[in-house]
Structure 1
């Protein structure tokens, strides 16, 4: 894996160097024979957006476009001379390497183009390039088989948690119906937008800003890939092992024990519950924190909610240390959060007992209600 990571970093550095080159001139990638012109990536000029910045960056991660010149224009004749065109031209034709999504006839989503995928968000130019070349790009960065399970898992994860957001924002698709409770103004698309000249700036040249946009989106893409490859994916094996050993922790089979804290376990719990066809929902997770103390945490109802499946008892919430130990009758208690989603104890045994008492109180409440 370290060799793959080094290769990914080398390619990222090459792409960043290329992105930093002139938008109207050849990039700083591998040298080409003098007689062979550098390939050209066409996109529109003027105000730029996150989707075409990412699309251009991703294309430059492919060997064939590594030293490509980015041509920013709306001139049809200049675009016709480009090897690949993204986000302009009014045409989606992958055989001709034309990847625009603005035409009225375009309704494609990931699910339309790849029926094995579940996402129905309309694609932007970034999504189109990722759909067609994402697996090839990831395989090249990591030195792994394009059709292997690691690339498949990372492809899906990066689309769902990185590219789809860019697709939706560029196409004006709201995250939810109704008025949002608060504004989101710090997402990647918004930060790219702020790199454009202000409306009242005397200099409206967008070339320098577009280069910065490519560096920004490319850097975040590579950082996210590195995290998912080296942290998120290995966590799955820990969670799966914890699920298989759950009855050794507690006879209920509803408590998982992880060997260390900080592991991104939540999404893996949800997916593995389905894949392993568990007969009942898991409720609580035990793990040690960095100080050597232990935590007991409720599993949330879903991946995008703060609501807990089984919060710790209400009478414990907001109580700390010795007062909590006296209240619960469990030695070594440290705290229970005011919402009940997590608590702490100085020992594994104490945290496990807090979990068992939580399960018992739930069962007692169910018995009373029935």
Structure 2
């Protein structure tokens, strides 16, 4: 520790506590998030399971057997714990220590990162979105909730929780408290990079796309009287916004089935047609491109479809392309009738 008296005065007197030994994604992320707050930004960390050492600490996560926001105690292992995120309809997955910290500090962290007041509506929107996209999966994995009730068709070991798990010392390596603490620091930093990376994406790319999607949805009846075709004049993240905004739209003869957009910003850019899935995470489409087009390219596809300038149609029937906007719009209208 520095002997500089000025450094001592500037150093935080706050201390975060969590358990020692083998670590998991939830407390690694919880500690990182706490250090993004005004109150705990410079806090020290104590890793122990000794109740006497935990008792005087300013905040404790994932250990201690107590959930009490008033006392800054955020454990979820105790019998009778039932806390869920709640807001936004997220009421099926019990929270881990990451979810608990995010529930109580998330808006502050987001607002602080973006330089916005916590009351800003976009802070609340991002708070719900980041829970759905990142935190909920950490909560579910830590609490042993299966991804599916049916057969799991393939293994996924690239999720954040799996990556943190691999940072623990191997069973056949020498270990000590110092080794575990050093590895925990590495794990907390890794989860933090993922957290901030996702927050920055949703704040700086995903959120601005909402206005683009809203404008395109409002003009869809000008594209085709069915209301089934939406045109974006620039590529942007659209699926989440479409599913969120669609229920607010006036009735139309057809649900939205196809999205048209240019491949790039250049005037000569080719255009694509993409099917709207049944849900944001589904590989099933509301209406796929015609079966006869699938896996066919270029002049052969133009002959089959009866449309000039066709480039391709994916074998799965979820996306296709044409040299021009007029061509891809014609493909959409023919696909509607198929």
TM-score past 0.5 threshold = yes
The equivalent position to 2:240 in structure 1, one of 267, 276, 284, is 267
Q: 1:1-370 residue pairs with structure 2 within 5 A?
A: 33=9, 38-111=13-86, 114=87, 117-204=89-176, 205-261=179-235, 263-276=236-249, 278-279=251-252, 280-290=254-264, 292-361=269-338
| SS of equivalent to 2:77 | coil
Shift of 1:56: 0.5
Shift of 1:178: 2.9
Shift of 1:117: 4.0
* 2: CA distance, partners of 1:105 / 1:328: 61
| SS of equivalent to 1:106 | coil
* 2: CA distance, partners of 1:333 / 1:201: 58
* 2: CA distance, partners of 1:296 / 1:171: 40
TM-score by length of 1: 0.86
Shift of 1:241: 0.5
| SS of equivalent to 1:206 | helix
Preserved contact between residue 283 and residue 298 of structure 1 (Cα < 8 Å)? yes
Preserved contact between residue 84 and residue 90 of structure 2 (Cα < 8 Å)? no
| SS of equivalent to 1:335 | strand
* 2: CA distance, partners of 1:108 / 1:123: 6
Q: 1:118 and 1:275, CA in 2 relative to 1: closer, same or farther beyond 3 A?
A: farther
* 1: CA distance, partners of 2:300 / 2:188: 54
* 2: CA distance, partners of 1:257 / 1:232: 18
Shift of 1:31: 5.5
Segments of 5+ residues of structure 1 without an aligned counterpart are: 1-24, 362-370
* 2: CA distance, partners of 1:164 / 1:316: 39
* 1: CA distance, partners of 2:294 / 2:151: 32
Preserved contact between residue 126 and residue 167 of structure 1 (Cα < 8 Å)? yes
| SS of equivalent to 2:274 | strand
Preserved contact between residue 258 and residue 285 of structure 1 (Cα < 8 Å)? yes
What is the CA RMSD across the aligned residues, in angstroms? Answer: 1.7
Kindly provide the CA deviation profile for residues 302-338 of structure 1, in whole angstroms up to 9, marking residues without a partner as x: 1111111111111111111011111222110001111
Shift of 1:184: 1.2
* 2: CA distance, partners of 1:328 / 1:201: 62
Kindly provide the CA deviation profile for residues 21-47 of structure 1, in whole angstroms up to 9, marking residues without a partner as x: xxxx79xxx95627x862100000000
Preserved contact between residue 32 and residue 38 of structure 1 (Cα < 8 Å)? no
Segments of 5+ residues of structure 2 without an aligned counterpart are: none
Preserved contact between residue 220 and residue 229 of structure 2 (Cα < 8 Å)? yes
TM-score by length of 2: 0.94
Number of aligned residues: 329
Kindly provide the CA deviation profile for residues 39-66 of structure 1, in whole angstroms up to 9, marking residues without a partner as x: 1000000000100011000111111111
